[in-house]
Amino acid sequence: MSDLEARYGASRRSPGAHATRNAPQRWWIIAVTLLILGTVGFWALTYANPSTTVEAQTVRFSQISETEASIQARVSVQPGTALACAFEAQNEMKAVVGYKVLELPAVGEQHQVVDLTLRTTQAADIVSVRECWIPNE
């Protein structure tokens, strides 16, 4: 026991000492709350608005001849939205041997299947959907 404790008794905490001791815990709660709010906000801006979501997937492709390849793709977007998609054929060296941009009209369904025959300069080893986008009007 120190001289001060002997003279005045055990030390007392100041009124703000309790708040200081819980400050790290409070910051942790604030950080988790901000993370949850940020996640919900991001989800609301990107996924709740389906007009901004465009998905394209290659279903199958085949080589018809040395100068032609076919592709079947599934494209998904909000019904009533026109799209443009780029299709690409590559040879075994990954060089682009065929490329075509196809504009798809707006349809009443969310998913549509696209069948396309692509002209190539060499035999195609891979044919895929490069990307799809909503064209400017």
Give the burial string for 53-71 (b: 16+ CB within 10 Å, else e). Answer: ebebeeeebebeeeebbbb
> What is the spatial order of strands in the sheet that 126-133 belongs to?
96-104, 83-90, 126-133
pLDDT for 60 equals 95
Q: Can you give the pLDDT of all 137 residues of the chain as single tens digits?
A: 677 777 777 656 555 555 556 677 888 899 999 999 999 988 877 666 555 688 999 999 999 999 999 999 999 998 888 999 999 999 999 999 999 999 999 999 999 999 999 999 999 999 999 999 998 85
Domain-by-domain residue ranges, the chain?
Answer: 3-46, 51-133
pLDDT digits 0-9 by tens, 57-96:
999 999 999 999 999 999 999 888 899 999 999 999 999 9
CATH tag, 51-133: 2.60.40.1620
